Amino acid sequence: MARTDPHAVLLHKFADRSAHIAILGMGYVGLPLAVAFAEAGFTRVTGLDIDAGKLAALQRGESYVEDISAERVARIVGVNLFTSSDFDATLASADVAIICVPTPLNKTRDPDIRALTAASEAIARALHPGMLISLESTTYPGTTDELLRPMFEARGLRAGQDFFLVFSPERIDPGRKDFVVETTPKIVGGVSPACCEVGVALYRQAIRSVVAVSSSQAAEMSKLLENTFRAVNIALVNEIALMCDKLGIDVWEVIDAAATKPYGFMKFTPGPGVGGHCIPLDPHYLSWKLRTLNYNARFVQLADEINSGMPAYWVGKVQDALNEHEKAIKGSRVLVLGVAYKKDIDDVRESPALDIIELLRQKGARVSYHDPHVPRIDHGGVTLRSEPDLAAALDAADCVVVVTDHSAYDWPAIARQARLVVDTRRALPRA
Ligand SMILES: NC(=O)c1ccc[n+]([C@@H]2O[C@H](COP(=O)([O-])OP(=O)(O)OC[C@H]3O[C@@H](n4cnc5c(N)ncnc54)[C@H](O)[C@@H]3O)[C@@H](O)[C@H]2O)c1
């Protein structure tokens, strides 16, 4: 094959690590990915972002993502990891553009793809033969082929021949140590077989196991299956917890018993609801797409209803517990322990703790919080700061609500010190 063939040229540049990789969006997904490619030996990885503060932090050798240490950033920044806010100049020389921008919901809980469109438009302006574009942001099935492909082909180049286009879902699980970017199998689906082949060739350089699927739609749907699976199973176990509560049965004993079955059962645990940028949002991308086809995604709807009802359920439990102690919730001091959406991370996006705090405040409680990972939260026009002295905060609280079971907490000590505890995670010793 001639070396001018865009396909062959790209594969060669991946093999010798000379391909210039541009990553659009340097957040929880983009930064670890950029670090993985730089550490795999690519000589030029450029992080693009509209947030000048993040770029400046990286240039100073700092990290704002807990899983990536500042030492790792400092070792590669200015060596083979670079940052830029000049999208046009960077993308003009990029062989690869990877999109890792947010895909949130708007006020009516429909997909808000403005960041995705803006990033894709920037790539389209700079599109040149021999470029690979990979979309990693979670989105509805059809986005890569129906939205991005026409945007790029409008430049007069053909996908699969002149440039290559894939969807490769990001599976990173913040806080997880056993599976990181390099060791989590990566799915790649192209808008053509040649696109898939080029996409697989890129990711193989940095990720141990790469799984090719037949289309970008299959790759998009696989990500939505994974996260809808989690949302539905968490909702199921939350509903089992509500049922057990009514029946006077200890749901945790039931779950532990069921989990002794060596096959056909996967353990999920109940809690305060779901949070983060994925589980509460992604299934809505699926149901939105299906609504355009006159199909009602019933499991998604039901799971959302149950999971988003959990904060109110737990606030009811706080009210009942205070009532048992002859106290009204109004005026009581309630300390929320942990506000991150899950243990050992600093992310409060969509965290059920925010809803719990808001509902408690609406009922007149005097709410404070403590979280070793989250120094401050701004929500609903209110700013709260983590209590500086946990022991003093426990002493002062009429009721403590355990929302996030961070490993840093000494649960037996908390159990001894707190007057009254409502534990949404079974973090405290059972007795
Ligand atoms: N956080 C996770 O655990 C996780 C896991 C799997 C998939 N995802 C998906 O990955 C995507 C990114 O999520 P995240 O958690 O990294 O978000 P994030 O908010 O942490 O990071 C996104 C970054 O994109 C930047 N940005 C916004 N618009 C941009 C633009 N037009 N051009 C360039 N940069 C832009 C933002 O400034 C931000 O730094 C989402 O689709 C999300 O659903 C996230």
- Report the distance separating Cα 216 and Cα 145, nearest Å: 7
Shortest CA distance to 113 belongs to which of 316, 273, 285, 249?
285
pLDDT of residue 3 exceeding 80? no
> Residue 95: how many CB atoms within 10 A of its CB?
21
Predicted confidence (pLDDT) per residue in 204-226, tens digit: 999 999 999 999 999 999 999 99
Predicted confidence (pLDDT) per residue in 136-167, tens digit: 999 999 999 999 999 999 999 999 999 999 99
Query: Strands across the sheet with 366-370, in order?
Result: 366-370, 333-337, 399-402, 421-423
Gyration radius of the chain's alpha carbons? 24
Reading the block at residue 163, the tokens are 């440039």
DSSP state of 226: H
| pLDDT for 408 | 97
Pocket test for ligand 1, best of 24, 28, 139 (most atoms within 8 A of CB): 28
Q: Which amino acid is at 13?
A: K
How far is ligand 1, taken at its centre, from the CA of residue 127, in Å?
A: 22
- 152 CB under 6 A from ligand 1? no
- Report the distance separating Cα 300 and Cα 137, nearest Å: 20
DSSP state of 147: I
Predicted confidence (pLDDT) per residue in 279-293, tens digit: 999 999 999 999 999
- 73 CB under 6 A from ligand 1? no
- Report the distance separating Cα 402 and Cα 407, nearest Å: 13
**Residue 104 backbone class (left: φ over 0; alpha: ψ -120 to 50; beta: rest):** beta
- Report the distance separating Cα 8 and Cα 6, nearest Å: 6
Predicted confidence (pLDDT) per residue in 50-74, tens digit: 999 999 999 999 999 989 999 999 9
- 227 CB under 6 A from ligand 1? no
Question: What is the pLDDT averaged over residues 14-28?
Answer: 97
pLDDT of residue 1 exceeding 50? no
Pocket test for ligand 1, best of 24, 29, 83 (most atoms within 8 A of CB): 29
Counting from 1 in the atom list of ligand 1, the atom nearest the Cα of 282 is 43
Statement: the pTM of the whole predicted model exceeds 0.75: yes
> Residue 233: how many CB atoms within 10 A of its CB?
14
| pLDDT for 430 | 78
CB 397 within 8 A of CB 332: no
CATH number of 252-423, picked from 1.20.58.220, 3.40.50.720, 3.20.20.80, 3.40.50.300: 3.40.50.720
CA distances from 125 to 87, 128, 299 (A): 10, 9, 40
Strand partners, 96: 21, 132
Task: Return mean pLDDT, the chain.
Answer: 96
| pLDDT for 332 | 98
Reading the block at residue 146, the tokens are 């129906």
How would DSSP label each residue in 236-272?
A: HHHHHHHHHHHHT--HHHHHHHHTT-SSS-------S
pLDDT of residue 251 exceeding 90? yes
What is the second-level CATH architecture of the domain 6-214? 3-Layer(aba) Sandwich (3.40)
How far is ligand 1, taken at its centre, from the CA of residue 139, in Å?
A: 12
> What's the pLDDT band for 94 if we cut at 50, 70, 90?
very high
| pLDDT for 431 | 61
The structural domains of the chain, with segments of one domain joined by +, span 6-214, 252-423
Predicted confidence (pLDDT) per residue in 324-346, tens digit: 999 999 999 999 999 999 999 99
> What's the pLDDT band for 178 if we cut at 50, 70, 90?
very high
CB 266 within 8 A of CB 91: no
- 350 CB under 6 A from ligand 1? no
Reading the block at residue 406, the tokens are 């961070």
Predicted confidence (pLDDT) per residue in 264-314, tens digit: 999 999 999 999 999 999 999 999 999 999 999 999 999 999 999 999 999
Catalogue the long-range contacts made by 382-386 (C-beta closer than 8 Å, 24 or more residues apart).
384/357
